[in-house]
Amino acid sequence: MSTEGRRWFNLITILLSSLIALTFGSLMGLLGSMVRWHLLAARPGHSLADVDRILGMPQPTGALRLIWSHTIRSRRWTSTTHTALLYLFWTIVGTLSIAALGLTFDLDEDAGVEFPVLITDWSSANFTSTQADQFVGTYDDYPSIVFLDAWAMQKYAALGLLSLNVSTRPPEEWWQDDVASVATNISGQGLDSSIEGNTVTYTYHLKEYQGAERYASTDKVVQSSSSCLGRVVINGGIYEQGERITMPERVGETSPDFLRVLYYFLDYDDRAESFEEIWQSVLWATIIHWDQGWQWNTSTCLTTYIYHRIFLTSNLRLDQERNATFFECHTCLSGVNSDVLRNLPAENSSYVNQLLLQLGVMSEFYTGLDGLSETTALHYHPYSIFGHLNFLEGVASIAEADRGYVSGLTPEMTPESEHLVAHHTARLPMLVLLGAEMKLPKVAKEEGATPRPYVTIALQIRWDRALGVLWAIFSGEILTVIVVVAVCRRTPIPNRNQLTSAWLLKSVSMHLTSEGSSPGETAVRLRYGARLGSDGIYELGLWRVDEEGNGVEDGFPQGQYRYTKEWAAHVDAGLRWRWLRRWLH
């Protein structure tokens, strides 16, 4: 709880306690003003001094004066003394009981350590061991260095793929669970996918760490989007969107890129020595510039090609007509830069982008074939280097899932098949980042941030205690009202108008004066009661009586009442049984 919050809490607590105390005090004052009339009427007679003290009893100081006079000065105990003592005790205890509200809440202090927010350090050599200043020659001057980085990233991608799968299926069937579906926060890793038209987009929020907590960053976001165009090879003929493409007599450097790559794939089938090379492999390739370094390509996009040969009969022959699926995928990255990836050297951004985009085909080089000049080559991936953790798992089953081996291929490629392949090509770069964040070291998001000890104060309201205390106070008030009303049920109570009390006291002075008694005479005894007037109406007042209380009616008979002739406010004696009568006058 903040300092401002504690101030408001103290203010509200004090206001609530004051309100309850004010309510209880007002109630006790009202009940005390009722009890005093019962006391004045209950005994045979009271001295003038006692009358004065009893009339002042509703105030705690007045009750204390009455008790002091009876017990200390006069050394006598009467029913009036006991009533005043009980009234004073209950007023004090009831008011102080409001302090029990303090037991209904706790202020818990929680001491701990606030850890700084950590993010992944992308400058680690475990992510990429190659620096930009090492790229000084052509592509073939340093393939081993690039492959070391590619191998490390493929391991991160495999780790990311494992983290996304909580399936009960065998690994070779994982692709059926999540690859071909639009998912949000896949497996809780913060990896979201969406489809818009022919484009599949994966969005990954980099993670931030604080203590044992891990959550997605709001400002560090990387996106990968891919769109794939599917073609079908049927009996050696190539079909795009259901239409057959006319093949040139010879594929050369002026031919479209997809034909140059497909020409290599078809030649790969011719060179295959076993069905295992053809059937169980999905070829994933891209065209590279063999004679240039990585720095030449600053693009954040790449076109790759995916090929899988299909046998339509169980009588397998290597020399039978070719049937295959062939996809051309265009994939783009955004956010792979030093602004998003902390400590990634800006000069290495292009290298990392290209490495992530070419990761799926980072296995073998091939060059020297017709259609690929000396300055270009294929970078391709002919087999699964991680066994069943192939990043193209499921692509080999597209024909089986959409058409079936027995029924034969059709010239049209379904959008679902194109989306499935686009899921693979768009997701792979995100898998690298996801897996790398699990292993790479972390640095503070704010420079120089260190663990900081703290103490927090939390307010906990014990509602069971609060309800118990409030119920006890309320029950006590109700019980007090019932007792007072029961005791005073036979005594007419003057209304709350102060002029009534003033006229009653004035009647005392008038009686004393008419009877020749001095107001200070100690032998004079007064009693609250009723006298029958000549007009048949009972008059309420403080009357002078003898020691036995004679001089007023015995009790309060049924009839019409008024306070005095001078104060002709009539009271219906029939209402004396109702405690609400004091509000009716």
For the segment 348-382, what is each residue's pLDDT rounded down to a tens digit?
Answer: 888 888 888 888 776 665 555 545 555 556 666 65
What sign has the CA pseudo-torsion 418, 421, 423, 428? negative
- Total-model pTM: 0.58
Q: What's residue 399's pLDDT?
A: 46
- Which amino acid is present at 115? F
Query: Contact, 228 vs 420, CB < 8 A?
Result: no
Name the token pair of 188: 């809780």
Q: Calculate mean pLDDT across residues 158-164.
A: 80
- Return the minimum-mean-pLDDT range out of 126-130, 171-175, 253-257, 343-347: 171-175
pLDDT attached to residue 404: 38
What pLDDT is attached to residue 201? 94
Give the mean pLDDT of 527-550. 80
2 vs 7, 14, 389, CA distance in Å? 9, 18, 52
pLDDT score for 474: 83
pLDDT attached to residue 585 = 39
**Structure confidence at residue 456 (pLDDT):** 76
Question: Smallest Cα–Cα separation from 301: which of 425, 436, 148, 138?
Answer: 425
Angle between helices 3-42 and 79-96 (to 10 degrees): 170
Task: Tell me the C-alpha distance between 471 and 456, whole Å.
Answer: 32
Residue 416 has pLDDT above 70, yes or no: yes
- Write the DSSP string, 496-509: S-HHHHHHHHHHHH
Which of the pair, 212 or 181, is modelled with greater confidence? 212
β-strands 560-562, 538-545 pairing = parallel
Assign 573 a pLDDT band (cuts: 50, 70, 90): very low
Average pLDDT over residues 407-427: 81
φ/ψ of residue 422, rounded to 5 = -65, -35
CA-CA-CA-CA dihedral for 69, 74, 75, 79, to nearest 10: -70
Sequence-distant (6+) residues with CB within 8 A of 570 are 537, 560, 561, 562
Q: Does the pLDDT at position 582 exceed 50?
A: no
Please check the confidence at residue 475 and state whether its pLDDT lies above 70: yes
Which two structure tokens, joined as six digits, stand for 89? 């005790």
**Mode of pairing for the β-strands spanning 199-210 and 213-234:** antiparallel
Average pLDDT of 26-50? 82
- Quick check: 200 pLDDT over 90? yes
Q: Label residue 290 by pLDDT band (50, 70, 90).
A: low
Q: Which residues have a Cβ under 8 Å from the Cβ of 172 and sit 6 or more positions away? A: 388, 393
CA atoms within 13 A on the CB side of 98: 20
Average pLDDT, the chain: 75
Amino acid at 22: L
DSSP 140-172: GGSHHHHHHHHHHHHHHHHHHHHHH---SS-GG
- Per-residue pLDDT of 314-334, as tens digits, reads 444 545 567 788 899 999 999
Dist CA 120 CA 434 (whole Å) = 11
Give the closest residue to 207 by CA, choosing from 152, 163, 251. 163
- Is residue 492 classed exposed, middle or buried when 0-12, 13-18 and 19+ CB atoms within 10 A define those classes? buried
Give buried/exposed letters for 110-131 (b at 16+ CB in 10 A, else e).
eeeeebbbbbbbbbbeebbebe
Q: Which of 465, 459, 458 is nearest to 104 (CA)?
A: 465
Between 467 and 101, whose confidence is greater?
467
- Write a three-state SS string for 256-303: CHHHHHHHHHHHHHHHCCCHHHHHCCCEEEEEEECCCCHHHCCCCEEE
Asked whether 184 and 416 are in contact (CB, 8 A), the reply is: no
pLDDT in tens, 47-66: 777 888 888 888 888 888 88
| DSSP-based three-state secondary structure for 327 | strand
